[in-house]
Structure 1
Amino acid sequence: MPRKGMRSIFFKSPSPTRMTPPSSPLHHTFSESLMEENIEVAQFIITKWDSSHDDNLVSLFSDKDEARQYLGSIKGLQKAMKYLVLHQSNSEKLVRAQLLMQTAMKRLQKEFYQILKSNRDYLDPESVSAHSSSRPSVSRSSFSEFEEEEEEEDESENENNSVPEVERASLAAMADLRAIAEAMISAGYAKECIKVYKIIRKSIVDEALYHLGVERELTFQKIQKMEWEVLEFKIKNWLSAVKMAVKTLFYGERLLCDQVFSVSAAIRESCFTEISKEGALALFGFPENVAKCKKTPEKLFRMLDLYEAVSGLWPEVESIFSFESTSAVRETAVNSLIKLGDTVRTMLMDFETAIQKDSSKTTVPGGGIHPLTRYVMNYISFLADYCGILSDIFADWPFTVPSALPESYFGSPDSEGSISSPISVRLAWLILVMLCKLDGKAAMYKDVPLSYLFLANNLQYVTEKVRQSNLKFLLGDDWLRNHELKVKQYAENYEKIGWSKVLASLPENQTAEIPADRVNDHFKKFNSAFEEAYMKQISWVVPDPKLRYHIKISMARRIIPIYKEFYEAYGGVQMKKEMWGEPFIRFTPDDLGNYLSDMFYGSKSSGSVSSSSRGGGRSH
């Protein structure tokens, strides 16, 4: 350590307006003798612990009494030096005292370094943050407290006995560091103390960030060139690391700085800033750089994850990095939120545009669920899980519903089940955009009944996705009821058009007398119409079990009772005639039920419908 000149704190000239009267020779001699005694005591203790020629350092602070005496001697030495500066500024005693102070400061600097190194496990940020927030310090906590009476020290020891050993060691180490720091700062050796602290603690923080996976060299240029799978992996790592970094690493480091350098706000700020600023800027610069990359719909949810992580930690960031010198960290976190918010809004608009521009011309076999429906509804149902974050992102970006859209689409304004929040309206609008596209795709089917079945299937998928996700709470009961009613209407249209020819083949008035030739004609027409409808529709699908059951039951109730009544009235006579001629009756009422039960599974047609000897079909 370089030799120090007289520290400025010892050269305080008396005010010219307040002249101190000369002391009496007796008083001067008495004060001088006290100061000489302070120097003698300090020389004895400081020389005793002088480690200039001793490489094996035995810790002064391993013995509480010795540490108290050592720090007390330094305080006495300071008083003597102040006295000599005022009364004997050219005295050899002052030079001697200064040399002793330098020796003492060298020793304390080594002790400071040794405590930081040897107690690394006890001073890790996790340990510090764990106990500092829940328990006040119960050990020695400052330079002055080393001079407390024995009784108070004994009380402190008794309190320490109730504290876990690891926590007790951590508290004791912090108290020792604080006492040393206060002594060195008071003596004008703050620079030497701070240098040791910054070097050791910064290496610990940097190492911790490295193990958390925080990459400092990950620039925007590097991120931009990454494959999405690689970048997504790094985003997941960052999401796992950021909470630990803020709530444990930086929080614990801030607490430790505040404890050790409690006597100086400026030093606390300087140390914490140099130790943590670089790592924190790298940590919070990552999401901003990610947000600048190419925007595609599949990246939206990771952007929301990043936004949620940063916004959720903002109160801690604002508190931990509250110093003016760490304002860049706060600004970087805010800029990340701004950039991520812009990216999310852009991606959501791009998503809507992608739905509108979908130009696929291929029809889904059997009128099943269109890929667009699956993709959009899965996407929107995931978005619903981020409704709180989306509300924050779109808070200053109100959504205007197109004037052509009926208000009833969002439910009655006076109803409790209607859509109310801006995010709910946005999501409802996206679903409507998709449903409009599905209307166009339904028109591509040549069979009108199949187009209605397609609409029923896809809208049923939509309502089920809403019911099974957070969309249910966002869109409300009115929205669900309205769209479930539309599903029923589509299904009814399918039944009416798809089976109208079958129903038309039977007489309207079953009670009226029908000539025999007309009876034969009705049976023939029914056979032909039913077989044609069945053969065409056996390959059609209804993926949803509830909707499939509903349509089957509805069809059975439409067809079987009418056919059964006609069959029971004329079937017996016709069967007798068929024994000697062409068969007119191919289906019994039970056969119809069996055939209908086999429908909507997407089965391939066998080319014909078997006779009335057919067995039972699938269960409903």
Structure 2
Amino acid sequence: MLLETPKSDNSFKPKGIISSLFHNASPQNAFSPSHSLPTYYSPSSPKQHTFSVAMMEENIDNAEKTITKWDLTSSSYTKLTFLFQDSRKDATEFIKSVKELRRAMHYLVAENSASSKLVLAQKLMQTAMKRLEKEFYQILSKNRDHLNPESISSRSSVGSSSFGEEDDAQSNDELEILSESVTEVKKVSEIAMSDLKSIADCMIVCGYGKECVKIYKVIRKSIIDEGLYGLRIERFKSSQVQKLNWEALVGTIKNWINAIKIAVKTLFNGEKILCDHVFSASVTIKDSCFYEITKAGAIDLFKFPELIARSHKKSPERIFQLMELYEAFSELLPDIESIFSSESTSAIRSQALSSSLKLRDSIPSILQEFESKIQKNSSKTLIFGGGIHPVTQSVVDYISSLADHSGVLSGILAHYPPPGNSPLNESFFESLTTSSDSPAPDAASVHLAWLILVLLCKLDCKAELYKDVSLSYLFLANNLNFIVEKVRTTNLRFLLGDEWISKHTKKVHQYTLSYETMAWTKALSSLPDNNASSPLSTEMVKESLRKFNAAFEEAYKKQASWIVQDGKLRDELKVSIANKLVPKYRQFYDANLDVLCSEEKNSLQLLVRFSPDDLGNYLSDLFHGASNSGSSKSSSSSSLSPHRCLSR
């Protein structure tokens, strides 16, 4: 509040009233005058002292003429007229008079505290401050649109024209130049900012900074609050975030990401520029004022990521929204730290940093939970035909989606120790992609490779559930091949590398070889070696055929329902089995055809169930997940007829 005017000369106490203006004048006191008198006011002789006092008292009389003219209580005209709006020349003179009045008061308090002019000066100072308060409020209110943060933040600096103490003439010239183009919006805002700075400078140096700041905070805080409201930023509590369903949470996060960019780069940045300009006379005032205006909105805004991070709903799919949130927030942290860099705004800065760290911590936490879910999967349901397990499908799809965010993920995981630190697993990571800049693979590569290793270990356990060992190997080949192809055709390829793909492709081949050995060895071993030195007897040929027929039919019957979903792998398996089985059977078949033809027709049809070509037909039906052997079997009934024997 303004100081009350003394009722009489007798009530005037220089060390009481005047000391409120000048006693504590120092640069450290933001709300008291910080300008000392020029050295030429220091008297060097009694005569000069008398002259200086007289001159200061005359300055007070001169200031009275200008200040009383604009006394709010003097007339209705002064109440309705605004000095800075209607008479810029008078505005210049008014500011100059206030400064001269302050100089005179400062001098008289120090050199002649008993001067009767001090009472008048105090009254004039109060009158002047009331006028400047009104002018300050009017400029802020009238120019809300011209002083909006968006227009201010669009330029990195603002005009410095003002009624400065150092050069009033220069300031006046600048104002005249600005006035010539007042119709331009930019110039209007610059004039308004210049006037606000001039008034703030004057009030602060005269010890009325608190009154000035109070007006500024009320009006500018409402603008910031309206701006945040327009961005649809809600004030959430932790309990409210917990209750949000997934769709609502995704929408809220997207809106927050869009809003924070505008809030930081426009609202807060613009207000920072304006506040720094208006209150450039005092670092303490401008910093504390900016904090009071922005603290509620900024802290609520920057706390939202922390509330999301603390949510107990850490399902794997939420990681993508959290990474998007973290990436957007991280990009703005340098701007936040720059805008809220002062000691006064440290609480806002701390909240932003806290939210960023908690958000970052939540992402590895979700990955750990996801890894745990893989390891704890205890389903003992056998997948029909040794096909792709749902766990494989879901885990690899999830990991490949993580690879699409490898940039931000690597930045996050770089702050945490890599998983799987054991000699047993070191070889698994040796094949990962590295760069010339970093001999070690990045954090995302290591972590995603580890998750795949966890999945492979779980698949090994799933494979043991099959009673047929050959089907176990086919299951492993199917699932590992699916993983390799997913890596090959997604961004995982750039993270894990071609060497990783080659290594695991060889592993698929090993699984298929193990499958073939376990599934077809009995049929192959039932045929004698083709390099026998002496012909086989009729009984030996018959026995070999009986064993082969039984082994082949057993293998075919089991494998008719087995499945290989990947077409390329399916064809490779068929060719590989056929190359092992058909040539050996054909050679045995052709070598013993004479013996076979010596049998009676009925015995021959029972004994020779497959021709070499029939084997290929039967094998072509495999790995589709269902028996399609009807045509093959029907053709085999006439595969070897007596007519062929008679024609020889």
Taking structure 2 as the reference length, the TM-score comes to: 0.77
Aligned 1:86-165 pairs, distance under 5 A: 94-132=118-156, 136-138=157-159, 140-141=161-162, 143-144=164-165, 147-149=168-170, 153=174, 165=184
Question: Structure 1 pair 296/87, CA: closer, same or farther in 2 (3 Å)?
Answer: closer
Q: 1:279 aligns with which of 260, 272, 297?
A: 297
Aligned 1:472-487 pairs, distance under 5 A: 472-487=493-508
Aligned to 2:354: 335
Q: How many angstroms does 1:194 deviate by?
A: 0.7
Q: How many angstroms does 1:185 deviate by?
A: 1.5
Aligned to 2:518: 497
Q: Would the aligned equivalents of 2:433 and 2:495 in 1 still touch at CA under 8 Å?
A: no
In structure 1, how many angstroms separate the alpha carbons of the residues matched to 2:382 and 2:408? 37
Question: Structure 1 pair 243/516, CA: closer, same or farther in 2 (3 Å)?
Answer: farther
Aligned to 1:241: 259
Structure 1 stretch 82-91 or stretch 270-279: which is displaced more?
82-91
Q: Would the aligned equivalents of 1:587 and 1:612 in 2 still touch at CA under 8 Å?
A: no
In structure 2, how many angstroms separate the alpha carbons of the residues matched to 1:414 and 1:369? 27
Which letter does structure 2 place at the counterpart of 1:316? D
1:453-510 deviations in Å (ceiling 9; x for gaps): 2111211222233334454444444433221210111122223333445545666429
In structure 1, how many angstroms separate the alpha carbons of the residues matched to 2:382 and 2:388? 10
3-state SS, counterpart of residue 312 of structure 2: coil
In structure 2, how many angstroms separate the alpha carbons of the residues matched to 1:289 and 1:538? 55
Aligned to 1:554: 576
Q: 1:21 aligns with which of 23, 45, 57?
A: 45
Question: Structure 1 pair 388/516, CA: closer, same or farther in 2 (3 Å)?
Answer: same
Gaps of 5+ in 1: 615-620
Q: Would the aligned equivalents of 1:50 and 1:103 in 2 still touch at CA under 8 Å?
A: no
3-state SS, counterpart of residue 463 of structure 1: helix
Which letter does structure 1 place at the counterpart of 2:61? E
Q: How many residues align?
A: 603
Q: How many angstroms does 1:367 deviate by?
A: 1.6
Q: How many angstroms does 1:30 deviate by?
A: 5.5
In structure 1, how many angstroms separate the alpha carbons of the residues matched to 2:150 and 2:597? 90
Q: 1:212 aligns with which of 231, 236, 252?
A: 231
Question: Structure 1 pair 503/35, CA: closer, same or farther in 2 (3 Å)?
Answer: same
Q: How many angstroms does 1:451 deviate by?
A: 1.5
Q: Would the aligned equivalents of 2:481 and 2:508 in 1 still touch at CA under 8 Å?
A: yes
In structure 2, how many angstroms separate the alpha carbons of the residues matched to 1:131 and 1:375? 50
In structure 2, how many angstroms separate the alpha carbons of the residues matched to 1:587 and 1:98? 123
Aligned to 2:64: 39
Q: How many angstroms does 1:204 deviate by?
A: 1.9
1:9 aligns with 2:28: no
Q: Would the aligned equivalents of 1:128 and 1:256 in 2 still touch at CA under 8 Å?
A: yes
Q: How many angstroms does 1:199 deviate by?
A: 0.9
Q: Would the aligned equivalents of 1:560 and 1:592 in 2 still touch at CA under 8 Å?
A: yes
3-state SS, counterpart of residue 457 of structure 2: helix
Q: Would the aligned equivalents of 2:83 and 2:90 in 1 still touch at CA under 8 Å?
A: no
Q: How many angstroms does 1:198 deviate by?
A: 0.7
Give the percent of matched residue pairs that are identical in Structure 1 and Structure 2.
47
Q: How many angstroms does 1:263 deviate by?
A: 0.7
Aligned to 1:618: none
Aligned to 2:280: 262
Aligned to 1:600: 623
1:186 aligns with 2:205: yes
Question: Structure 1 pair 558/65, CA: closer, same or farther in 2 (3 Å)?
Answer: farther
Q: 1:544 aligns with which of 566, 571, 588?
A: 566
Which letter does structure 2 place at the counterpart of 1:215? E
Q: How many angstroms does 1:283 deviate by?
A: 2.4
Q: Would the aligned equivalents of 1:411 and 1:419 in 2 still touch at CA under 8 Å?
A: no
Question: Structure 1 pair 372/196, CA: closer, same or farther in 2 (3 Å)?
Answer: same
Question: Structure 1 pair 256/30, CA: closer, same or farther in 2 (3 Å)?
Answer: closer
Question: Structure 1 pair 609/40, CA: closer, same or farther in 2 (3 Å)?
Answer: same
In structure 1, how many angstroms separate the alpha carbons of the residues matched to 2:526 and 2:536? 14
Aligned to 1:370: 389
3-state SS, counterpart of residue 440 of structure 1: helix
Structure 1 stretch 475-484 or stretch 258-267: which is displaced more?
475-484
* Structure with the greater alpha carbon radius of gyration: 2
Aligned to 1:76: 100
Which letter does structure 2 place at the counterpart of 1:444? L
Q: Would the aligned equivalents of 1:115 and 1:173 in 2 still touch at CA under 8 Å?
A: yes
Which letter does structure 1 place at the counterpart of 2:230? H
1:118-162 deviations in Å (ceiling 9; x for gaps): 333333333322212xxx43462564488243895389659x98x
Q: Would the aligned equivalents of 2:420 and 2:450 in 1 still touch at CA under 8 Å?
A: no
Aligned to 1:617: none
1:164-220 deviations in Å (ceiling 9; x for gaps): 95544443332232222112222322122111111111122222233334333x222
Aligned to 1:458: 479
In structure 2, how many angstroms separate the alpha carbons of the residues matched to 1:419 and 1:127? 48
Which letter does structure 1 place at the counterpart of 2:252? K
In structure 2, how many angstroms separate the alpha carbons of the residues matched to 1:366 and 1:437? 18
Aligned 1:263-412 pairs, distance under 5 A: 263-294=281-312, 296-298=314-316, 299-384=318-403, 385-386=405-406, 389=409, 392=412, 395=415, 397=417, 399=419, 401-403=421-423, 405=424, 407-411=426-430
In structure 2, how many angstroms separate the alpha carbons of the residues matched to 1:84 and 1:578? 144
In structure 2, how many angstroms separate the alpha carbons of the residues matched to 1:521 and 1:344? 66
In structure 2, how many angstroms separate the alpha carbons of the residues matched to 1:430 and 1:127? 49
Q: How many angstroms does 1:438 deviate by?
A: 0.7
Question: Structure 1 pair 82/367, CA: closer, same or farther in 2 (3 Å)?
Answer: same
Which letter does structure 2 place at the counterpart of 1:73? S
Question: Structure 1 pair 595/414, CA: closer, same or farther in 2 (3 Å)?
Answer: closer
Q: How many angstroms does 1:371 deviate by?
A: 1.9
1:441 aligns with 2:462: yes
Q: How many angstroms does 1:611 deviate by?
A: 3.6
Q: Would the aligned equivalents of 1:287 and 1:340 in 2 still touch at CA under 8 Å?
A: yes
3-state SS, counterpart of residue 23 of structure 1: helix
3-state SS, counterpart of residue 178 of structure 1: helix
Structure 1 stretch 533-542 or stretch 186-195: which is displaced more?
533-542
Which letter does structure 2 place at the counterpart of 1:234? T
Aligned to 2:190: 171
Q: Would the aligned equivalents of 1:131 and 1:167 in 2 still touch at CA under 8 Å?
A: no
In structure 1, how many angstroms separate the alpha carbons of the residues matched to 2:470 and 2:524? 15
Q: 1:200 aligns with which of 196, 206, 219?
A: 219
Question: Structure 1 pair 186/2, CA: closer, same or farther in 2 (3 Å)?
Answer: closer
In structure 1, how many angstroms separate the alpha carbons of the residues matched to 2:372 and 2:455? 11
Q: Would the aligned equivalents of 1:51 and 1:107 in 2 still touch at CA under 8 Å?
A: no
Gaps of 5+ in 2: 6-16, 26-35, 638-648
In structure 1, how many angstroms separate the alpha carbons of the residues matched to 2:172 and 2:228? 44
In structure 2, how many angstroms separate the alpha carbons of the residues matched to 1:446 and 1:51? 106
Structure 1 stretch 414-423 or stretch 19-28: which is displaced more?
414-423
In structure 2, how many angstroms separate the alpha carbons of the residues matched to 1:530 and 1:164? 97
In structure 2, how many angstroms separate the alpha carbons of the residues matched to 1:504 and 1:611? 26
Q: Would the aligned equivalents of 2:562 and 2:622 in 1 still touch at CA under 8 Å?
A: yes
Aligned to 2:646: none
Question: Structure 1 pair 26/247, CA: closer, same or farther in 2 (3 Å)?
Answer: closer
Q: Would the aligned equivalents of 1:295 and 1:343 in 2 still touch at CA under 8 Å?
A: no
Question: Structure 1 pair 54/409, CA: closer, same or farther in 2 (3 Å)?
Answer: same
Q: Would the aligned equivalents of 1:223 and 1:293 in 2 still touch at CA under 8 Å?
A: yes
